[in-house]
Each structure stands twice: as structure tokens, then as C-alpha cells.
Amino acid sequence: MRFIKYQLSAEKLCLGERVKGGRYKPSIKTIRYSQIVGALKHQFGVSDVHAVGSLEQFKVEFLSYTLKDRALDNSKLPLRVEFLTDVSGVVYISEGHIPKEKENRFDLVMGGMVSKGYGNCRLTKAGEIDMEKENDKEGLLNTRIPIKAEDERELMELMENGVPSKFLTNIFGIKKVLRPVLGYLFDPVYEHTGVYVLSLFEGSKIVSCESLLINGGR
């Protein structure tokens, strides 16, 4: 599949992990499929877009703040939130999903803490690639991508023999999964509901195009 490559920049970005009941909210250090796809769907109203990204440079900072329980009119225990500043990265968006008049450069809101001024990103076009036709290398995955196995047999083929799902191969050109690092990404179904989807996380050892690998597989 063909993708448009964008350089991403942001002053403050909070790509929070989902931590149930915890008072410390870390930020992941990459751009997961579900996060960038969700932002693009919200921004442009597209339905079948595919996108991934990774961060190249950033600084880590922390913010502590107290939430207020309006019903009881009192304050809860303070939260400590990790966020990123001076962020630069790269994003790949499937071709044909960004309006032509905005294809070269557009702004996108992504991540958490939006009401506090976080998450404003600028994306600038930097080229086009076809992930299936790029040179393949062995290396570590630099992002998080859902496996989207069509059935249990396809999932077992991946787990036992390293054969990637059709989704991983046809969309992102992944040829082999040598050592998976597994986790779950939240896939929204409706506005307030969704499902968790088994996914490859950063650090998975794979054979794929250089664009999906840490430092290009070097």
C-alpha cells in the first residue's frame, strides 16, 4: 500500500497509556496506530484510513494536577502526568485520505490533555512510499500496529511460525515476525465504546521495510 510520509512537530504532546486507577500516567514514546488513525478520523471524517508513526526527538516533562469531584464538591488525589515537549517525528498516512488542499501541510490534534493546550501537531509532507516495495530489513518495530488476524488459524501461524497476518502484510508490508512483543490497542467502535485488539508493540523483531524499524534497521 502507498503512504504519504509526513514530518510531525508539536510543542507539547501527551500520548498517555491506559492505567486503571493509577495516580501516575506515563506517556508512550511512539505514535500508535489507534492514536493517529483515531485523530485522522475525527479531523477529516474518513473511515478506512491507515497510519502509523514514530517519534525521533522529544524531551520528557511532568505535570501534577488535582481533579475535582463536582458531585461531592471536593478534590481527589493529585495525578502526575508524563508528557513530551519539543517533539519531532514521522507519520505515514495511507494515500488518498487527506483532502487535496491540505495534503502538503495540515494541523492535527492528537493525544490527551487537549483542553489544557496539549496535542496540537503540525504535519508537513516529506514524500511518498510504498511499504510493500521498499527494501526489507530485519530489525525492531518502532511503533504499535494491530495484528487483525482474520481467524484463530491466522493468529496461530503468526505465534508459532512468524507468519504475519494478511493485514500486516498487505497494509504495512511486514514479511516475518521473528519475536513478537504483544499488547492491546483500543479500537473504538462507537463514540463511547470499543474493543481491545491484539497488536504488535515496539521492540517486536520483524522483517519489514526500513520505515517501520528503529533507526531503519541499523
Within this chain, do residues 20 and 119 fall inside the same structural domain, yes or no?
yes
| Domain edge (last residue) among 114, 130, 146 | 130
Within this chain, do residues 80 and 117 fall inside the same structural domain, yes or no?
yes
Tens digit of pLDDT for each residue in 160-210? 999 999 999 999 999 999 999 999 998 876 666 788 999 999 999 999 999
| Domain edge (last residue) among 95, 130, 165 | 130
pLDDT of residue 164: 97
Within this chain, do residues 217 and 201 fall inside the same structural domain, yes or no?
yes
Cα-flanking dihedrals φ and ψ of residue 182, to 5°? -105, 150
Within this chain, do residues 125 and 141 fall inside the same structural domain, yes or no?
no
Within this chain, do residues 139 and 203 fall inside the same structural domain, yes or no?
yes
Within this chain, do residues 125 and 183 fall inside the same structural domain, yes or no?
no
Name the pTM for this structure. Answer: 0.89
Counting the structural domains of the chain, the total is 2
